[in-house]
Structure 1
Amino acid sequence: MNLPTPAIVTQNAVSPLPRWALILLCIAYVVPGFVGRDPWKSADVTAFGYMLELAQGRTPWLNPLLGGMPPDTEGLLPYWLGAWAIKLAPTWVTADMAVRLPFAFLLVITLAATWYGVYYLARSPGAQPVAFAFGGEATPADYARAIADGGLLALIACLGLAQLSHETTGYVVQLSCTAMVFFSVAAMPHRTVAPALALVTGIVGLTLAGGPALAALLGLGSMAVVVWAPGSDTDHRWRWALAVASVTFVAALIAWGLDLWGWRIVDSGSGGKEWQSLARLLLWFGWPAWPLALWTLWRWRKQIISAQGHRHLLLPLWFSAVSIAATLTTRPADRALLLGLPALAALAAFALPTLKRSVGALIDWFTLLFFTISALAIWVIWIAMQTGVPAKPAANVAKLAPGFVPQFSALALVVALAATVGWFTLVWWRASRNRAPIWKSLVLPASGAALGWLLLMTLWLPLLDYARSYRAQISGVTAALGTSPGCVQTVGLSRSQVAALQYHGDLVLQRAGLQDECDWLVADIASWPASERMVNAAHWEVRAKIARPTDKNEHLLVFRRVASAR
């Protein structure tokens, strides 16, 4: 017996979101963050350091090292992508910009795979709205398109997506591969070639990006969904289940051959503060998708527990559950939660046909106030940085980022002004007309998130670069070393510090204890004095103590070998 669906949708409610508007929103979200900035601390610059080492032929491709240290993650594919990009890029493209190009493409793939995945889920028989006695209900294609628009808007609106999706790390590769697997299983009842290619690319790519366990779990869960909820009248469930199982098995063999399997479960017996931190992360990271996802689970609860198997609910529910479980049991937690955002957005999209008008109005007003106030705050602080007025914000910036010199960019100002005008135009449009489309409640959240990200990455980019990159600190180190320092020994430096010294300082580094031929030594203050097996402290004198301007706890010590020790 078919259970009644909670979705009651008229044809008028699925009027399309203009493609030009959706594409423009995606461009405004994707491009900022990949253009015009330095590699940021610490995962971003660390990954870039390995990519640069590979591209310059200073380390093996199957066992990359940075300053003599292997990566702290097992996945090799992200480093290969960045290294290939550096080698293929023309000479006028900087190395850090070159590595961002494939990762920007991966973010585009994530957005596209989410849209198409939600679209095909919405074409499932169990997802269709109620059929009216005299007609007028939404047609399946238009309904699926409207739900897919809502899913993509929900993904862009997630606050945790902005920064992490614009880094050049393995987690961006894992995100795009997870989205491809999600699309593949969603589209299997309707297409053949595209889902097959996405399945192989997604599961194998996720494995090579350092997530073999996630690939195995997503593959096994997807196989169960394919068998239990085929999603179409044409029953090819066993053929697709065999395909999913085969690809998952091959990926597991690849992980075994490359020694990618590892136990990463952390101790769950942490103190209350750790659990409070996880709770805060879960609260804001997926906002506003997770409240809508919970509403979906409530309104569609009878379909979830029915024996029929509704793939439009079970598939995103499994992907979200795996991501949340990884968040609670592995570190870094935010990177694990990132992989579940496409599925969470899909669940959120299926709440749209069931929302009451009062709930939609509440979302609109909250979003309008939050993002408008945030945008005004960004503008006020930028004006204060440029003019010194208002005085208090300018003083706060000077206190938090000592030594920062504001920079003016006419291009950044024009882009920020255009985005702000667009935001207020959208607010007027939303308040005055077109209240019928079911995707309307997520237009302001997605546009507000894109606006905030764009303003930060234009108006505040010099400040953020100063605060989050190593350039200012490395400039101090190179000034202390002088011209042509030759080789420089290092003690206790992290991977990110080594990468920053090699890229920003163009230094030839050598780990202390390997040889004893360098006249200069750079050490992290936390690791000094070093072990006598590594370096004889009596042979070195401090020449400079260089701090990161925005971190009082991070200092680099620059030493010169004393004349008697030569």
Structure 2
Amino acid sequence: MNPPSPAIVTQSAVSPLPRWALLLLCLAYLVPGFVGRQPWKSADITAFGYMLELASGRTEWLSPLLGGMPPETDGLLPYWLGAWALQASPGWLVPEMAARLPFLGLLVVTLVATWYGVYYLARSPGAQPVAFAFGGEAAPADYARAIADGALLALLACLGLAQLSHEITSYLVQLACTALLFFAVAAMPYRTWAPAIALVAGSLGLTLAGAPAVAALLAVGSVLIAIIAPVQGPREHRLAWAWAICAVALVAAGIAWGLDLWRWRVAVAGAGGKEWQSLARLFLWFGWPAWPLALWTLWRWRRQIADRPGHRHLLLPLWFSAISVATTILTQPSDRALLLGLPALAALAAFALPTLSRSVGALIDWFTLLFFTVSALAIWVIWIAMQTGVPAKPAANVAKLAPGFVPEFSMLAFATALAATAGWCALVWWRASRSRAPIWKSMVLPAGGAVLGWLLLLTLWLPLLDYARSYVPQIHAVKAALGTAPGCVQTVGLSRAQVAALQHHGQLALQRAGLQDECDWLIADIAAWPASERMVNTSLWEPVATIPRPTDKNDHLLVFRRAGPAR
């Protein structure tokens, strides 16, 4: 006998979130970060550099090089997507925006796949709320729609999603493909073609994006869940899907083998304790506020988890979340690995919503209201200080942290930020004006606050963020030191990001030191100088300038000119 569901939900509690409001919220989250900004240091500009090299035909598609260096990540699919977009883009579209268009689509795929995946999980018999003796319980389709709305809001509210989901790196591709796999396994009992396409695209995409081991582990758990946690339907149907998952996983593994994508990247945190403290902080803020609700789900639905058959709505997101947590602990970079678990974490959080008491919901609302209102107020105050010099202390702090920064005023950015702030005030008034019945109500303020903060940062603070996080100020100073028409420039010890920035922002023809000896100029990273005599004869070069990144005391480029005539 299955234990009773902890969800007690009436039909009035599953009224749908207005589609226009949900779409507007997603649009406000999607556009900032993809439109109008410079490539940021360092994964963002590095990936963009490889895309430019591929699109221009200066390197091989199966073994791309940037400044003579191969990518740090093995997955080539992200570079291909950006390069194809660059080649297909019209001339009036700036390269940065052209390369971002496929990744904008991938973030849309992530949001849509998460919504539909949770929707089909909530249609499972084990996920349904308690049936009332005299009727009035929530209808299955309406209940599933409300839970899916709550999951999408929880995903948007996760603090760790914002920056990483707007960078054109392999990790966004992996996130979208993980969400596709999640949707495929969730929808298998109800649909055929859409889950099949998502299964193939997700498995192959995750493999080609550099995560074949994650794809294999997710496939193993998905096969087990398809067998031991079925929904109503013939056994042959469940076995057919299990065999399909195995077949696709084997094909993906074969492709990974053929492209030499299998790597052993285990990097356990050291015994000193600092790495574990850093991991603890990462877990604390990255998935906030979804992870506390996910833990609450595991507690309230614990009997259903123990009674495995019929409760795939818990086992599937739990497996995907567990794989993400394990890879976060065992691999680097940790935050990129944890990113892949956010859709599943949001799904678990959504199933906590029908079990929350009124007092817990009120606590979430008040904490969220205070946190995001204070954060938005701080963003506005600092922006006003940058524009006017008043208050003096925030203006002085900005001048200290970003020396040389000249504030800019944009009417479009100001109007957008003002409209977003007015929308936040209206949302707070709506939430506080009366007792709202829908079960997704507790996620409205967290999602709205996260979107507000992200939008304000990428409108009011965009010039400051570009100044602090991009290479543009430093490269402009390098260009000034080189003068007009410098010709070829030798490089020593530059990172991939620095090479990409010099080639894109500076439009410089770079040559690695030792490959030829005809350049009049040399640029070196300060950490790599004095260079080895085998790379370059230091006596032939006279220093011209030392150029720092304004916001990083440890990032300096040295500019040298040949002491004698070029050979």
TM category, shorter = over 0.9
Deviation (angstroms), 1:268:
3.6
Structure 1 SS opposite 2:214: helix
Residue number in structure 2 paired with 1:361: 362
Structure 2 SS opposite 1:146: helix
Distance 1:307-1:415 versus aligned 2 partners, 3 A rule:
closer
Counterpart of 1:518, as a letter, is C
Residue number in structure 2 paired with 1:126: 126
Structure 1 SS opposite 2:555: strand
Q: Partners of 1:466 and 1:270 in 2: how far apart?
A: 37
Distance 1:170-1:307 versus aligned 2 partners, 3 A rule:
closer
Structure 1 SS opposite 2:417: helix
Task: After superposition, give the CA deviation of every residue in 1:360-418 in whole Å (9 maximum; x if it has no partner).
Answer: 00000000000000000000000000011111100000000000000000000100000
Counterpart of 1:99, as a letter, is A
Residues 267-346 of structure 1 mapped to structure 2, 5 A cutoff: 267-346=268-347
Q: Percent identity?
A: 78
Q: Partners of 2:352 and 2:296 in 1: how far apart?
A: 6
Q: How many residues align?
A: 566
Deviation (angstroms), 1:234:
3.8
Structure 2 SS opposite 1:64: coil
- The answer as to whether partners of 1:162 and 1:453 remain within 8 angstroms in 2 is yes
2:54 pairs with 1:18: no
- The answer as to whether partners of 1:539 and 1:565 remain within 8 angstroms in 2 is no
Structure 2 SS opposite 1:399: helix
Residue number in structure 2 paired with 1:68: 68
Structure 2 SS opposite 1:233: coil
Structure 1 SS opposite 2:64: coil
Residues 339-488 of structure 1 mapped to structure 2, 5 A cutoff: 339-433=340-434, 435-488=436-489
Q: Partners of 1:27 and 1:534 in 2: how far apart?
A: 50
Residues 142-153 of structure 1 mapped to structure 2, 5 A cutoff: 142-153=142-153
Q: Partners of 2:308 and 2:460 in 1: how far apart?
A: 54
Task: After superposition, give the CA deviation of every residue in 1:190-233 in whole Å (9 maximum; x if it has no partner).
Answer: 00000000000000000000000000001111111111112233
Structure 1 SS opposite 2:490: strand
- The answer as to whether partners of 1:364 and 1:441 remain within 8 angstroms in 2 is yes
- The answer as to whether partners of 2:492 and 2:512 remain within 8 angstroms in 1 is yes
List runs of 5+ in structure 2 lacking aligned partners.
none
Counterpart of 1:95, as a letter, is P
Residue number in structure 2 paired with 1:102: 102
Q: Partners of 1:177 and 1:395 in 2: how far apart?
A: 44
Counterpart of 1:244, as a letter, is I
Residue number in structure 1 paired with 2:90: 90
Deviation (angstroms), 1:90:
0.4
Task: After superposition, give the CA deviation of every residue in 1:429-461 in whole Å (9 maximum; x if it has no partner).
Answer: 001135111000000000000000000000000
Counterpart of 1:550, as a letter, is T
Q: Partners of 1:334 and 1:42 in 2: how far apart?
A: 15
Counterpart of 1:124, as a letter, is S
Q: Partners of 1:469 and 1:294 in 2: how far apart?
A: 38
2:27 pairs with 1:27: yes
Q: Partners of 1:262 and 1:404 in 2: how far apart?
A: 43
Residue number in structure 1 paired with 2:218: 218
Residue number in structure 1 paired with 2:157: 157
Q: Partners of 1:126 and 1:267 in 2: how far apart?
A: 37
Structure 1 SS opposite 2:516: coil
My pick for the range that moved more, 229-238 or 392-401, is: 229-238
Residue number in structure 1 paired with 2:177: 177
Residues 198-217 of structure 1 mapped to structure 2, 5 A cutoff: 198-217=198-217
Counterpart of 1:245, as a letter, is C
Structure 2 SS opposite 1:563: coil
Residue number in structure 1 paired with 2:54: 54
- The answer as to whether partners of 1:324 and 1:340 remain within 8 angstroms in 2 is yes
Q: Partners of 2:95 and 2:57 in 1: how far apart?
A: 14
Counterpart of 2:79, as a letter, is Y
- The answer as to whether partners of 2:328 and 2:337 remain within 8 angstroms in 1 is yes
Q: Partners of 1:307 and 1:325 in 2: how far apart?
A: 22
- The answer as to whether partners of 2:481 and 2:545 remain within 8 angstroms in 1 is yes
Counterpart of 1:484, as a letter, is A
Deviation (angstroms), 1:307:
4.1
Q: Partners of 1:426 and 1:270 in 2: how far apart?
A: 47
- The answer as to whether partners of 1:30 and 1:107 remain within 8 angstroms in 2 is yes
- The answer as to whether partners of 2:225 and 2:316 remain within 8 angstroms in 1 is yes
Residue number in structure 1 paired with 2:526: 525
Deviation (angstroms), 1:517:
1.0
Q: Partners of 2:39 and 2:234 in 1: how far apart?
A: 50
Q: Partners of 1:386 and 1:121 in 2: how far apart?
A: 49
Q: Partners of 1:307 and 1:385 in 2: how far apart?
A: 57
Deviation (angstroms), 1:27:
0.1
Structure 1 SS opposite 2:553: strand
- The answer as to whether partners of 2:520 and 2:566 remain within 8 angstroms in 1 is no
User: Normalized against structure 1, the TM-score is what?
Assistant: 0.99
Deviation (angstroms), 1:564:
6.0
Counterpart of 1:159, as a letter, is L
Q: Partners of 1:423 and 1:328 in 2: how far apart?
A: 36
User: Normalized against structure 2, the TM-score is what?
Assistant: 0.99
Deviation (angstroms), 1:270:
3.8
Residue number in structure 2 paired with 1:191: 191
Deviation (angstroms), 1:310:
1.0
Task: After superposition, give the CA deviation of every residue in 1:87-118 in whole Å (9 maximum; x if it has no partner).
Answer: 00000001111011110110010000000000
Q: Partners of 1:473 and 1:132 in 2: how far apart?
A: 67
- The answer as to whether partners of 1:492 and 1:524 remain within 8 angstroms in 2 is yes
Residue number in structure 2 paired with 1:516: 517
Q: Partners of 2:410 and 2:38 in 1: how far apart?
A: 16
Counterpart of 2:279, as a letter, is L
My pick for the range that moved more, 432-441 or 165-174, is: 432-441
Across the aligned residues of Structure 1 and Structure 2, the Cα RMSD in angstroms comes to 0.8
Q: Partners of 1:550 and 1:252 in 2: how far apart?
A: 43
